[in-house]
Each structure stands twice: as structure tokens, then as C-alpha cells.
Structure 1
Amino acid sequence: MNVPLVLNQFLDRAVALYGEKISIFSEDRALTYAELNERVNRLSDGLRKLGAVKGDRIAYLAPNSIEMLEGFYGVFQVGGVMVPLNIRLRPEDYLFILNHSESKVLFVDQNLYHLIEPIKGQLETVEHIIVHYKEEGIDETGYDEWLEQNSSMAFKR
């Protein structure tokens, strides 16, 4: 049996074999493999529309979540490099990591946004900040709204 080891080929295979089965769930929702794949394609399409190209670093400051999993697949699919940020650091640590890694896009969970807010003006390469579960009063792009604007068509790798 030939089982792919490349991350996105693994998801393609799971969709083909188990498309309507639950792939991941959290406290309040669950996604099938087909739904996860659709969201990953939207994320990749959105990153490409933001100008992300092969080798660009995309940072994530989020707990283990559905959005984080989507990020691992979506960033890899567009040819980017995932920069996962430890949720227990201080703002100045994030500033160093984001600038040193030359991250172009930062995805951040609403509950952790307060750690990024004080350093936003010092970020040298981050062009876009996208917030998971964005609340009112935050002057950034909301993840779900942004995701919906992008295509779920199979992504051309």
C-alpha cells in the first residue's frame, strides 16, 4: 500500500477515502475531511491573494485549534513556512521572533491579540494581521470573514 507522506497529499487521500467522516472537532463544532479541505483551500487562496509566495513565513499565535490545523495545511500548500509562536511568551519575544523570521502574515487568536497589540507599530515585515474569533473594536481582519472571501476550489500546487 502506497501512503503519501507529503502533508497535503495526506489530506487529499483522507478526503478521497473518508470525505464525510469527522476529521476534527472542538467544543462547539466539528469538520469533516471535505469541510477541512475546503477551508484549507480557502486559506491558501487567501494567502496567495495577499501576495504570499513560496518561502514566505506565515506566523500563528493561537492555541491548538481547528484554525491552527487549517494553518499548517494551508501554509504548506501555498509553499510557505509556518512560524508557530509559543502562547506563553511576552510581547517583546514575539517582536523579536516575527522580525527575525521576516513573517509576512500573522494569524492571531482573539484571546492572545493583547500580546501583539503593543508591538504592532514595531513589526518590520508583517503586512497583514488576521484575527481568529475577532471581537468588536479590533481594527484587524476577521479570520472567518476573510476566509469566506476566498475560493474553496482545489488548490493548484
Structure 2
Amino acid sequence: NRLEWMEIYASCAKGGQIAVPVMFRLAPPEVEYIINHSESKAFIVEEPFVKAVNLIRSKLPTIPEGNFIYLGDGKAPEGYTHYE
């Protein structure tokens, strides 16, 4: 849990977007299903889950390449935009 999640939820509410939480225990195919069926336009991911997301990135057509957001300390991994 990070303080940034409160900013994210408040920003979504103010901007008229809907945050779709994804449980960290789900397998990559289950995450793929949730993201595709919610028609998400961005994906915010913390460091421990980058590898799992990378397994399904090519299967998430509703998320533009620049909308994979890294929420963590240090430099964002390749292909991700840092939250800050």
C-alpha cells in the first residue's frame, strides 16, 4: 500500500474515470481478462508485479503503449512511464 493510491483514486473520481483494482494474487490470464473486459485505458503497476504485467502487455489492446505507469522507487522499467 502506498499513499499514491489515494491520489490515483481521488484523481479518477474528480476526472470521471473509474479505477479497476486488480487483486495481486491473480494469474496473468485472469488479469488480462479483467483489463480487456473493463476496456481500461491505463495500467498502473507496482514494482513486484512488472514481470507479470510484461507477460500479458501485448494482449492488452485497449491500453496505449505510453499508458503503462510504474508506481515505485527508482527508475521506471523499460516501456513504463514513472508515476511521478
TM-score class, shorter: 0.7 to 0.9
- Specify the SS of the correspondent of 1:83: coil
The 5 A counterparts of 1:6-45 are none
What is the deviation of 1:104? Answer: 0.3
Q: Partners in 1 of 2:48 and 2:34 — Cα distance?
A: 20
1:103 counterpart residue number: 40
The unaligned stretches of length 5 or more in structure 2 are none
Q: CA RMSD in A?
A: 1.5
* CA displacement, residues 27-52 of structure 1 (integer Å, 9 cap, x when unaligned): xxxxxxxxxxxxxxxxxxxxxxxxxx
**What is the aligned length?**
81
Between structures 1 and 2, the one with greater strand share: 1
For the structure 1 residues 138 and 131, does the alpha-carbon distance in structure 2 shift closer, same or farther, using more than 3 Å as the test?
Answer: same
The 5 A counterparts of 1:1-157 are 64-127=1-64, 128-133=67-72, 135-136=74-75, 138-139=77-78, 140-144=80-84
What is the deviation of 1:78? Answer: 0.4
What is the deviation of 1:134? Answer: 5.5
Question: Runs of at least 4 residues of structure 1 off by over 3 A?
Answer: 134-137
Q: Partners in 2 of 1:74 and 1:136 — Cα distance?
A: 23
User: What residue identity is the alignment partner of 2:14?
Assistant: Q
For the structure 1 residues 137 and 106, does the alpha-carbon distance in structure 2 shift closer, same or farther, using more than 3 Å as the test?
Answer: closer
State the TM-score, normalized to the length of structure 2: 0.87
For the structure 1 residues 134 and 98, does the alpha-carbon distance in structure 2 shift closer, same or farther, using more than 3 Å as the test?
Answer: farther
State the TM-score, normalized to the length of structure 1: 0.48
The unaligned stretches of length 5 or more in structure 1 are 1-63, 145-157
What is the deviation of 1:136? Answer: 4.5
Query: Which structure has the greater CA radius of gyration?
Result: 1
Mapped contact 2:76–2:82 kept (Cα < 8 A):
no
